[in-house]
Amino acid sequence: MKTFRIEETFTGYAEITIEAETEEEAMALYYSGDYPDSAYVRDSFTDNYQFEQISEIYEKETEPVNYYQGA
């Protein structure tokens, strides 16, 4: 049995709580992804799914990829 990874994009909503002294600092932390995973809360509603690509996985990945860390 082969294993495949299917990637898709979709429209969704998330809130990220970041502590910073200024709005500029908060945006810099957001863009760098320098905040804890627990600060990221994603809404369960998603829409507009679009297939991007499919690829065969030849070796098992050792660690899951966190697609929700940073932007």
**Half-sphere exposure (CA, 13 Å, Cβ side) for 18?**
21
pLDDT in tens, 8-43: 999 999 999 999 999 999 999 999 999 988 898 988
pLDDT at 61 over 80: no
> What are the boundaries of each domain within the chain?
3-56
Which pLDDT belongs to residue 45? 86
pTM listed for this prediction: 0.54
Nearest alpha-carbon partner for 42 in 6, 66, 7, 25: 66
The stretch 2-6 carries a mean pLDDT of 92
Contact 15, 41 (CB under 8 A): yes
